[in-house]
């Protein structure tokens, strides 16, 4: 009888030992899995670190390329004028160039044929793009035009038509958008005045209280000065 009891106790002890071991398996497995995951994470971080550094260098390089391109683009546009109001029937580059020389005569500015690098018709807008070899001549023409603002078609083309002809600096797209938006703000009396930096496109706003604010992107400008259409 006692032997049977001892046997039962031994069996019970073995079973309890096995149960205890089984209970510890999930904890052991979880601990091992966590350890393996940590090792994998460390290895992955080590492998990614150089890639992150390369990506950062690439981002900085791309930003510099974009900045340099914008600067070169602004320099290229700086010697250009866009003329509106020339009849679209005049398409020949030589005829358009002669018109530019006539504009110079109107303002008593000597413009030689070879000083007009390019003169072409912009198909989409119907305007005329003029690129000068001499930036000073272009600036002189624009200063004279902006001072008088009374250029008429019959002054530069053989016609009796007295319609207005408009000259504008050919600003880069971002600058042009800022200028048009600022002009509208001024027209709506939301600002007192403005200026746009030709090189970086930054807009400096003179507020109605005569304080100034500079914006380095259109998003911030349009966010501070929202125009609602009625």
Q: In what order do the strands lie in the sheet with 193-196?
A: 193-196, 203-206, 212-215
Residue 116: strand pairing partners: 132
Structure tokens at 41: 């994470």
pTM confidence score: 0.54
Confidence bin at 100 (pLDDT 50/70/90): very high
Mean pLDDT over each residue of the chain, to the nearest integer: 80
CB atoms within 10 A of CB 167: 20
CB-based burial of residue 102 (10 Å sphere; 0-12 exposed, 13-18 middle, 19+ buried)? Answer: middle
**If pLDDT is split at 50, 70 and 90, which confidence band does 26 have?**
low
CATH T-level topology, domain 79-169: Alpha-Beta Plaits (3.30.70)
Model confidence at 18, pLDDT cuts 50, 70, 90, reads low
Question: Rounded to whole angstroms, how far apart are CA atoms 128 and 96?
Answer: 8
Which tokens in the block code for residue 119? 């003169």
Among candidate residues 200, 66, 90, 75, the one with its CA nearest the CA of residue 156: 90
Band of pLDDT at residue 4, cut at 50, 70 and 90 = low
Model confidence at 72: pLDDT above 60: no
**Non-local CB neighbours of 177 within 8 Å, separated by 6+ positions:** 218
Poorest-confidence range of 23-32, 89-98, 127-136, 161-170? Answer: 23-32
pLDDT recorded at residue 172: 73
pLDDT on residue 96: 93
Asked if 141 contacts 81 with a C-beta cutoff of 8 angstroms, the reply is: yes
**Contact by Cβ (8 Å): 167, 81:** yes
Residue 203 phi/psi, 5-degree rounding, is -105, 125
Average pLDDT over residues 203-225: 88
Predicted pLDDT of residue 129 = 92
**What's the rounded mean pLDDT across residues 96-123?**
92
Closest CA to 105 of 137, 61, 149, 130: 137
**Alpha helices (runs of H) in 107-197, residue ranges in sequence order:** 135-148, 173-187
Output the pLDDT for position 175.
77
């Amino acid at each position: 009888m006692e032997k049977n009891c001892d046997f039962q106790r031994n069996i019970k002890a073995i079973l309890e030992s096995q149960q205890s071991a089984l209970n510890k398996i999930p904890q052991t497995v979880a601990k091992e899995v966590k350890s393996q995951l940590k090792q994998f994470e460390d290895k992955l971080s080590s492998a990614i670190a150089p890639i992150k550094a390369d990506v950062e260098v690439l981002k900085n390089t791309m930003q510099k390329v974009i900045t340099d391109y914008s600067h070169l683009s602004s320099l290229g546009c700086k010697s250009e004028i866009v003329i509106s109001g020339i009849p679209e029937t005049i398409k020949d580059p030589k005829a358009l160039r002669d018109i530019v020389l006539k504009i110079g005569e109107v303002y008593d500015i000597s413009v030689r044929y070879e000083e007009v690098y390019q003169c072409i018709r912009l198909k989409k807008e119907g305007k005329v793009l003029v690129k000068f070899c001499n930036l000073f001549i272009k600036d002189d023409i624009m200063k004279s035009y902006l001072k008088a603002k009374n250029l008429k078609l019959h002054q530069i083309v053989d016609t009796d038509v007295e319609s207005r002809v408009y000259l504008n600096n050919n600003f880069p797209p971002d600058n042009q958008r800022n200028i048009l938006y600022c002009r509208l703000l001024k027209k709506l009396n939301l600002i007192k005045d403005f200026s746009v930096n030709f090189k970086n496109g930054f807009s400096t706003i003179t507020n109605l209280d005569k304080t100034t604010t500079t914006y380095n992107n259109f998003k911030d400008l349009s966010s501070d000065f929202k125009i609602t259409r009625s």
